[in-house]
Amino acid sequence: MRLADWLVVAVYIVWIVYDGLRRSKGTDKVDGYFLANRSLPWWAVGLSVIATQMSAVTMVGTTGQGYLTGLRFVQFYFGLPIAMIILSVTVVPFFTRAKVYTAYEYLERRFDTRVRSLASFIFLMGRAFSLGVTLAAPAVVMSTILGWQLPITIMVICVPMILYTTIGGVQAVAWTDVKQMFVVVAGMSATVVVLLYGIFDHVGFGQVLNLAGATGRLQAVDFKFDPREQYTFWSGIIGGLFLMLAYFGCDQSQVQRYLTAKSVDEARQSLLMSAFVKIPLQLLILSTGVLVFVFYLFQAPPMLFNRAYDGQVAAGPHAAEYAGLERQFDAAIAARRDAAAGGARDAFLATDRTVKDIRKRAADIVRETTGDSRYDDANYVFPTFITTRLPIGLVGLMIAAIFAAAMSASGGELNALATATIIDFYRRHFVKDAPDAHYLRVSKLATIGWGLFACVVAMFAANQGSLIEVVNRYGSFFYGSLLGVFILAILTKRATARGAFWGLLAGLAVVLVVAFTTPIAFLWHNVIGAAVVYVVGMAISVLAPDARAARGAP
């Protein structure tokens, strides 16, 4: 990174913190701090919804997936537009009109305090750990680029974000999200232009498609029904639908975004913006990964993108073999480049297989030498490309874009964690009738507390395989069960508090067993969790109705 790039990053961070602090006006009451006085326009809420979901994990992990496997990951989002329609018709008008702060408040009105507290607690635990992973992604990137210690990098990312979220509340989060989305899209678009410019020096657009397609990277849709396969049309449209219903309907970090909208229709429109934009946006990011692959067909890539263990491998027992692999790799890359430029499909595929085999052996050597069984290369592909191939200034913009994505996703989550803590626990169980100023003070303390907790989690989550999958896997442990309890609450009058409580616990237990003992892909965990909660909850409600149901409630 050159001085100009550092300046771009520094200007961005100062600007975003300044803007966040400027937005703290009108947040001197709980309603303003947590819900922006329900005053935001639909497009700002919509961009905030997208920004909260699109973290730095998306930028770093998804481009890595695009590089390695192509566009197939887009199937993960096939359920999203349908989920948005279902939510717009059902819970959005419901939550908005109920004037709740958290989604879980409704569970108390429908069932009892126990169900509300359990659901909120599950959200807090799941989201706090996910937030840690969300923060780890940019920390990994910056540590690799700068050679900084991970804790220092995490603090550099977290401190500005915690600062503006703590002081400005949800209003600061939403308006900085809007700006951060523009930075992210501008950065990605500029990168695509640079990639195409570099590729077109060697081949035309038709040949780009042929090369990417020959390696299977353009096979975006797979209609095969195999529950062990992570990304298929069916896992996306069914499992993804359940995950998105749960994420946007039961996860406070998303529900709180559209609770800030001016009206029911504006809240709906904010969600429908995601329905229109999300899949094309993911395609842009995945396509960037695919283009990076094509780019490196003509420009020599490193054998491994994650060079964190270079020194250890060079001094280890496999040093000679590793050096030999590097020579083989150079020869294979040259042969692949010639085959790709000459349009020799069979020779290209054969040399690509050789390159893949060499890379796999090299990664195995790193794992054997270091004992790091989770050593991963995918998340380093895009950062390596950014820092070694982009022109001056654009490197800074992309690093700022990764910061932007990290902060926008984490700010919303952090604010939601504080909201659930204060509204569902502190104000509900401990201090019930304090003045607004008191709740505002403890809300800010809760924001700082969760921010620091997430920083600690991030330090341990940095080397957990492909980061985008880790985040979604963590989420799928509890999302399905949360969705199940909301289905019980909303779709049937027969469900009782006892049924909902034990159904929720049963759903979580079954998902954990399934996750650790079967090869079923994680998207299906959401379906399983929701189904178990519903079935167990209804069975208990019918067989052992509680006193409230016996009185005819709700």
Binding residues for another protein, rule: CB under 8 A, are 71, 74, 78, 81-82, 84-85, 88-91, 93-94, 97, 109-110, 209-210, 212-214, 216, 218-221, 233, 263-265, 268-269, 272, 275-276, 279-280, 283, 490-491, 493, 554
Q: Which residues contact 269 (CB under 8 A, 6 or more apart)?
A: 42, 43, 46
Minimum CB distance to another protein smaller for 22 or for 548 = 548
Smallest distance from another protein to CB 213, Å: 3
Q: Is residue 480 within 8 Å of residue 511, measured between CB atoms?
A: yes
Q: Which of 136, 131, 57 is nearest to 463 (CA)?
A: 136
- Residue number, 263 or 388, with CB nearest to another protein: 263
Q: Which is nearer to another protein, 142 or 272 (CB)?
A: 272
Triad 10, 13, 15: Cα angle to 5°:
105
Closest approach, Cβ 276 to another protein, in A, equals 7
Q: Residue 182 or 276: which CB sits closer to another protein?
A: 276
**Which residue, 218 or 434, has its beta carbon nearer to another protein?**
218
Smallest separation, CB 56 to another protein (Å): 25
Distance between CA 471 and CA 458 in Å, rounded? Answer: 12
Q: Residue 7 CB: number of other CB atoms within 10 A?
A: 12
CA distance 554 to 537: 16
Number of residues assigned to the chain:
554
Residue 269: CB minimum distance to another protein, A: 8
The structure tokens 């780009």 sit at 208
Measured CA to CA, the distance from residue 69 to residue 72 in angstroms comes to 7
Asked whether the beta carbons of 398 and 390 are under 8 A apart, the reply is yes
User: In whole angstroms, how close is the CB of 286 to another protein at the nearest point?
Assistant: 11
Nearer to another protein, 150 or 220 (CB): 220
| Cβ nearer to another protein, comparing 233 with 453 | 233
Q: What is the closest distance, in whole angstroms, from the C-beta atom of residue 251 to another protein in the complex?
A: 18
Measured distance CA(70)–CA(73) in Å, rounded: 7
**Closest CB to another protein among residues 23, 268:** 268
Distance CA 296, CA 82 (A): 37
* Complete DSSP assignment for 74-125: GGGGTTHHHHHHHHHHTHHHHHHHHT-SSTTHHHHHHS-HHHHHHHHHHHHH
CB of 80 to another protein, least distance (A): 9
Q: Is 60 within 8 Å of 138 (Cβ atoms)?
A: yes
- Best CA proximity match to 448, nearest among 422, 475, 409: 422
CB of 37 to another protein, least distance (A): 20
